[in-house]
Structure 1
Amino acid sequence: MQAHYSLTEREAGQRLDRFLSEQAALGISRSYAGRLIEENRVLLDGKRTKAGTKLRAGMKLDITVPEPEKPELLPEDIPLSIVYEDEDVLIVNKPKGMVVHPAAGHGSGTLVNAILHHCGDTLSSINGVARPGIVHRIDKDTTGLLVICKNDEAHRSLSEQLRVHSITRRYAAIVCGNLREDSGTIDKPIGRHRTERKRQAIDPERGREAVTHYTVLERFGAYTLVECRLETGRTHQIRVHMASIGHPLLGDEVYGQRKQPFRLEGQCLHAKTLGFRHPRTGEYVEFDSEYPEYFTALLRKLRH
């Protein structure tokens, strides 16, 4: 699909990737817009450009959105823990150890493989062939709730709610140490680590806005159970933010201690509550999930 825009004062000052994601005719997410820009499918005044370019009146945009390819991914009959399902959305409770979408080293056994088997071809295509229906994701070793979109209209609605920070996302985490305050807010920009590309880091200069609100739920002396509410949704946000105040997540070998006292596999983090405006009805809906077995077993140990 080809699209052309002549920019006016109304668009002046906007970031290019954000402007593209807000064009209903294109029907693309901000991350996918960034991918198109990197692939030189977006020309600004006939020249290559960058996602963060600030638009000015009089500029001309030429966009080429490739036709969706048929997914190379194979549906796999992997059991899903379904919390809710209708014609627009699917809410699943992701187990520990499952990767959300295919990536290097994880071409099968992912949540995407499972939902392809469950939903067939009734999934949104906005995020491309590798991430059908995927609006947001959680890390491999993080458990809990995810919403899958079954059509592009639902995907656009949920993406917009993510953009304006109106989706409720509350996580339970067990962190190292005893927090001084009962609650607090961490407002520190996060960006890719400048030398270790698989990590994220606090980066006031080049990082993107990241805000996490935390509340202490239970104290165990050397460890603390906290609820973290995301205002933004950066990669590894809770893990990076809690580590930045000296309280990394228990089990997190990337941002915390290498040696783990409880033989854990990955960080103790559970996406417990998810709420949003339903894309069809406009009504607010909220879903909650119980702690996974490993989490409750660990809490029992800490209490005794």
Structure 2
Amino acid sequence: MGIFSAAITKSALKKAIKKKHLTINGTLATTATFIHGGERIALYIPEETTASKTLIFPLKVLFEDDYLAIIYKPAGILVSGNSFKTIANALVQNLKPSTLSDATKPQPVHRLDYATTGILLAGKTSSSIRALNKMFEDKEVAKTYYAVTIGTMNAEGEISTTIDDKPSCSTYSVLASAPSERFGMLNLVQLDPKTGRRHQLRKHLASIGNPILGDKDYGTASLILKGKGMYLHAYSLQFLHPFTEKEMSLTANFPERFRKLFPIDILIK
């Protein structure tokens, strides 16, 4: 890994091997390949391939340059995966092609759940995708989420229960609470994940008895909303642009369903 320390993360390297993008002395590499020293190692990220059909799915672009883009992800669509309808497949039609020499198919560099709304970061060049992946792995991207939770909560706290046998940590602060005939108490909560485990915020809040409103997987069965969506919103990203070195700080407007429960504009400055 030493020769790739500034270019590719361990997880990205494993993906490259699995997708047959890495060769050693001209032969496809495997995870069982042993390196003796002196080999010629090449990493190839293919350019966009022609699809049999095109996904028509307009996205709101919050920021874009030749290296990266920041978009608004609506609820009800996967970020990536085997499905045809994904953010990854919709990026090409919504973003301007990069003019740089290593331009490639735009690719999301982190995930948001199917029902989660908010801000999402994508790379537009091979070097940008690698750099952004490394920044996430090194925890150099600050993310802030907001959720509506059920039940009485402490004003603030830290949750550090393990997820999939891995250490994880999230902090929260309650901005407002309102009594509810059906739910007892609803809270507008600011969330700051310190690690990036799958479904981390949802699992953490459920673990302290305050599941996210509308969470069908980790909520209380009798309190699941039908057709209202999940009240989890990726509000902001802060990071140092890996190429221009500009301080980046962008936010994504809240869905209307949040505004119907709490005066968002007053509570969040």
Q: TM tier, shorter chain?
A: 0.7 to 0.9
Partner of 1:299: 262
Partner of 1:143: 117
Matching residue's letter, 1:188: T
* Residue 294 of structure 1, CA deviation: 2.1
Partner of 2:150: 176
Matching of residue 87 in structure 1 with residue 76 in structure 2: no
Alignment coverage as a number of residue pairs: 246
Partner of 1:96: 75
Partner of 2:22: none
Deviations 1:261-282 (A, max 9, x none): 6534442100001111012221
Matching residue's letter, 1:41: T
Secondary structure, aligned partner of 1:290: coil
Pairwise CA RMSD of aligned residues?
3.1
Q: Which runs of 5+ in 2 are unaligned?
A: 20-28, 180-184, 264-269
- Preserved CA contact (<8 Å) 1:173 1:269: yes
Relative to structure 1, the CA distance from residue 116 to residue 159 in structure 2 (aligned partners, 3 Å threshold; closer, same or farther) is: same
- In structure 2, C-alpha distance between the alignment counterparts of 1:289 and 1:114, rounded to whole Å: 19
* Residue 114 of structure 1, CA deviation: 1.5
Partner of 1:115: 91
Relative to structure 1, the CA distance from residue 75 to residue 23 in structure 2 (aligned partners, 3 Å threshold; closer, same or farther) is: farther
Say which of 103, 107, 112 aligns to 1:133: 107
- In structure 2, C-alpha distance between the alignment counterparts of 1:153 and 1:68, rounded to whole Å: 13
- Preserved CA contact (<8 Å) 1:93 1:146: yes
Matching of residue 216 in structure 1 with residue 195 in structure 2: no
Matching of residue 41 in structure 1 with residue 14 in structure 2: no
- Preserved CA contact (<8 Å) 2:66 2:99: no
Deviations 1:119-152 (A, max 9, x none): 376499x9x98xx421101011100000111112
Partner of 2:126: 152
Deviations 1:66-121 (A, max 9, x none): 66375364443321111111111111111111211132xx223x212221112376
Partner of 1:14: none
- In structure 1, C-alpha distance between the alignment counterparts of 2:195 and 2:148, rounded to whole Å: 20
- Preserved CA contact (<8 Å) 1:45 1:60: no
Partner of 1:71: 49
- Preserved CA contact (<8 Å) 1:123 1:151: no
Matching of residue 227 in structure 1 with residue 204 in structure 2: no
Secondary structure, aligned partner of 1:157: helix
Matching residue's letter, 2:190: E
- In structure 2, C-alpha distance between the alignment counterparts of 1:123 and 1:115, rounded to whole Å: 16
Matching residue's letter, 2:88: V
- Preserved CA contact (<8 Å) 1:44 1:62: no
- In structure 1, C-alpha distance between the alignment counterparts of 2:84 and 2:213, rounded to whole Å: 28
- In structure 1, C-alpha distance between the alignment counterparts of 2:220 and 2:242, rounded to whole Å: 41
Matching residue's letter, 1:273: S
- In structure 2, C-alpha distance between the alignment counterparts of 1:256 and 1:267, rounded to whole Å: 10
- Preserved CA contact (<8 Å) 2:160 2:168: yes
Relative to structure 1, the CA distance from residue 69 to residue 153 in structure 2 (aligned partners, 3 Å threshold; closer, same or farther) is: closer
* Residue 190 of structure 1, CA deviation: 1.1
TM norm structure 2: 0.78
Say which of 252, 259, 263 aligns to 1:289: 252
Q: Which runs of 5+ in 1 are unaligned?
A: 1-18, 47-57, 192-206
- Preserved CA contact (<8 Å) 2:67 2:98: no
Partner of 1:248: 211
Partner of 1:237: 200
- Preserved CA contact (<8 Å) 2:55 2:84: no
- In structure 2, C-alpha distance between the alignment counterparts of 1:86 and 1:163, rounded to whole Å: 23
- Preserved CA contact (<8 Å) 1:21 1:28: no
- In structure 2, C-alpha distance between the alignment counterparts of 1:249 and 1:59, rounded to whole Å: 51
- In structure 1, C-alpha distance between the alignment counterparts of 2:201 and 2:148, rounded to whole Å: 11
- In structure 2, C-alpha distance between the alignment counterparts of 1:186 and 1:22, rounded to whole Å: 34
Matching residue's letter, 2:10: R
- In structure 2, C-alpha distance between the alignment counterparts of 1:135 and 1:79, rounded to whole Å: 19
Say which of 141, 144, 158 aligns to 1:185: 158
